[in-house]
Structure 1
C-alpha cells in the first residue's frame, strides 16, 4: 500500500502542476456556464414572440378571400395583384388552377431564402385552410367547425414518497445524456492518459528502474489512482465553479426578456404562469441534482477504474503507443454500444427489461444507468448495479494486472490475443 501511495502521489503532483491542467480546469466551468446560458437564451427565444413576418397573398383562385389564419410568426394579408408590396416580407402566389382537390402550384416569392421551418409553417397554414374549406363544402357551418377544435395538453407528474413532482421526459433525457456524455468523454480522456503514461515509461525504459523497487501491480494501481484523483479534482472544481457561475447568470439572462413573476418562477423551479419553453427550465430545476451528481461521481470513478485498468494492460503489452491501436477497438466497443443502447432502448423505455439489464453490466452501466437516473430508478436496481460495478472493477483490475506484470518488461514482440490470455493464466 505504501508503494501504491507513493506512485499515486507522484502521478498526481506531476499532472496537476502542468499548465494545461490549470488552464482546462479554470476554462471548463466558463464553457459549461456559457453552454447553460445558451440553453436558457434559446428557450426564451422560442417562447418570446419573434418578429412576425407579413406575407402578401395574391389569391387568383378565390378560395381564400376570407383570409388565411396565421400564427405568432406569420401573418397573411390577402390582397389582389399589384399595389405596394414593400411593407411585406414576401408574396404567396396562389394560381387560378389551385383547387381544394388539386392544391398545387402555390409559390412563395421573396428577397430572402425561405428556411425549412418557415416553409413547413406556411404549408401547414394552407393545409388547415384547405381542410376547413373541405369541411364547409361537406355541409358543416363555420361555427360548428370552430367548436370541434380542441387543444389538449397533458402534464406528467411523478408520485414519490407521498409528494407529487412535475415530470418532463425531454428534460430527463437531456440531463441523463449530458451526464452520460461527460462520463464517456472522461473515461476516454483519463483512460488514454493512463495508456500514454505506461507506454511512455516502457518505451523510455524508465519502467525497468521503477520495477526494481516497486511491484508491477503497485505501479499500475498507483498510476490509475493518481490519474483518477486528477480527474476528480478537475470534476469537483468544475462542479463548484459551474454552480456559482450558473447561479449568477440564470437570473441575469432570464430577467432580460421576462417579467419579475416569470423570473422568480424560473429561479425557484416552478413553471406556473411561465411559457412552455420556460416550463422545461422549471422542470430542470426540479430534478434530483444530489442523486444525479452522486450517481455521476460513482459511475465516473468506477467506470474509469474499470476501463483504465484495461488501457494500462494494453500499453504494457506493446512496445510503442502506435501499437496499441490493434487492441483499442475491442475496449471501445462496449462504450460505443452503450451510447447506442441509451438512444435506441433506454429513451423509449427507461424501465424496460433491456434497459435494466444493460444498467447492470459493468461495461455498459456507467452510460446506461446515468441516462436512466433522471427518470427514477428503483433503489434495489441502483444498489445492485453499484455492487456489480465494484466487483467488475476488481475482477478486471486483477486480470489486467496479470497482463501488466508480464508485458511491462517484454520488448521486441507484438503479442496476440491468444498470448494475452496465456499471460492472464500464468501462475504466481
Structure 2
C-alpha cells in the first residue's frame, strides 16, 4: 500500500507543480466568463453583423408580391423582369436574391429562391412564414372570414412548469435545469478524455524510455497502474475544485456588481439559486471520478499495448465509442425525454452512465435508479480495472511488436 501511495504522490505532485497547471486553474474560468460575455454581446448585436438582403420577387400568381413586409435585414422588392434575366444578373451579383413564385405555387417544391451564394436559413424561413400567412389570409377572405378579427382574438398563452415538492410548489425552471444537465454532460465527456489521455500518455512515455523496467522491479504492475490512475484523478479533482471555488467567487462578485432588482444579472442569479447545485455537484463528482476510474484503466491498458501515441487509434475507437454515442444523444435527444427507456438504460450501463445520468439528474431521478447506476459504476470500475491490469502487466514489457485485439486476448489469459 505504501508503494501505491508513493506512486500517487509522485504522479500528483509532478503535475500540480507544473506552471501550466497553475496557469490553467485561473485561465479556464476567465475564458469561460469571457466567452459567455462575448456570446451575449454578439447575440445582442447580431442584427448588425449581417448586411441587408434584397429579395426580388417574381410573382406569376399575382397574390404575394405586394403583400410581403420588410423585416430586419430582409427587404422585399416586387419586379416585373423575367426570371431568366434576373438569373443572369444574379450570376455576377452575390447579394442578389430572386424569389420565384409560379402560378401553381401550392404544388410541392415549385417556389424557389435563386442566388449565386447559398441563402441563409433565416431568409428562406422568413419567406416561407410570410407566404403561409398570406395564403391563410387569402383563404379566410375567400370564406368570408375577416383576418383582422381572427388576429385580434388569437391568444398567446405561455405555460409555466411548476414542480410539486414536500415543501410546496416551486418553479421547475426547465430551461436552466436542461442547460445545467447538458453542461455537466459535456464537461464529464471532455474531462474523461483529457485525464484518461494523461494516464495513457504517461504509460507510453515510461514504456518507451524503458523507465518502466526499473519501476517494475520494485512494484507490481497493478500497483503502478492503480497509482497512476488515482494520482492523475486527484489532479483532475484539484482542478475542478479550484474552478468551482473561483466560479462561486466570480458569481458573487458579479451579483454584487449588478445588485439592481431590475437587472438581468440578478434575474439570472435568482433562477440559478433554485437549482439544487449541492446535489448536482455531488453527483457530478461521483460520476466524474467513477467514470474516470473506469475509462482511465482502459486507457492505461491501451498505453501499455503500444509504443507510441500514433498506434493508439485502433484501440481507442471501440473504447470511446459508447461515450461518444451517448454524448451525441445527450445533446440532441436525451434532454428532451430524460425519463424515456433509452435515457434510463443509458444512465445505468457503466460505459454510458457518466454522461447520460448527468443529463437526467437536474430533472429528478428516482432513488432506485440512481442507486443502481452508482452500484453499476463501482462494479464496472472494478471489472475494467481487473481486465486492464491483466493486459497491463504483460503489455508494459512488450517492445517493437504491434499488438492486435487477438494479441491482447492472449495477454489477458497469461498466467501470473
After TM superposition, the score normalised by the length of structure 1 is: 0.77
Give the Cα separation in 1 of the matches to 2:317 and 2:400. 22
1:27 matched to 2:15? The reply is no
Tell me how far 1:74 sits from its aligned partner. 8.3
Considering only aligned residues, what root-mean-square deviation do their CA atoms show, in Å? 4.1
Give the Cα separation in 2 of the matches to 1:232 and 1:379. 25
Secondary structure of the equivalent of 2:262? helix
Change (3 A) 1:153 1:54: farther
* Correspondence for 2:312: 324
1:364 matched to 2:352? The reply is yes
* Correspondence for 2:240: 235
* Correspondence for 1:167: 172
Give the Cα separation in 2 of the matches to 1:246 and 1:360. 34
Aligned counterpart for 1:203 among listed residues 186, 208, 230: 208
Gaps of 5+ in 2: 81-94
Please give the residue correspondences for 1:67-82 in structure 2 after superposition, counting only pairs within 5 Å. 73=72
Change (3 A) 1:50 1:263: farther
Secondary structure of the equivalent of 2:299? helix
1:128 matched to 2:133? The reply is yes
Secondary structure of the equivalent of 1:261? coil
2:56 and 2:76 in contact (8 A); partners too: yes
* Correspondence for 2:296: 308
Range 287-296 or range 219-228, more displaced: 287-296
1:403 matched to 2:391? The reply is yes
Tell me how far 1:34 sits from its aligned partner. 1.9
Give the Cα separation in 2 of the matches to 1:92 and 1:353. 47
* Correspondence for 1:221: 226
Give the Cα separation in 2 of the matches to 1:222 and 1:118. 58
Change (3 A) 1:224 1:117: same
Tell me how far 1:334 sits from its aligned partner. 1.5
* Correspondence for 1:291: 279
Please give the residue correspondences for 1:404-423 in structure 2 after superposition, counting only pairs within 5 Å. 404-423=392-411
1:333 matched to 2:321? The reply is yes
Give the Cα separation in 1 of the matches to 2:269 and 2:307. 57
Give the Cα separation in 2 of the matches to 1:387 and 1:106. 57
After TM superposition, the score normalised by the length of structure 2 is: 0.79
* Correspondence for 1:87: none
2:181 and 2:359 in contact (8 A); partners too: yes
Q: Provide Cα deviations, 1:205-255, integer angstroms capped at 9, x if missing partner.
A: 111111111121111111111111111111111111122223434676x78
Range 374-383 or range 3-12, more displaced: 374-383
Q: Provide Cα deviations, 1:379-428, integer angstroms capped at 9, x if missing partner.
A: 22112111111111111112211111122223333333233233333344
Give the Cα separation in 2 of the matches to 1:155 and 1:77. 37
* Correspondence for 1:353: 341
Give the Cα separation in 1 of the matches to 2:343 and 2:65. 55
Change (3 A) 1:96 1:330: closer
* Correspondence for 2:6: 6
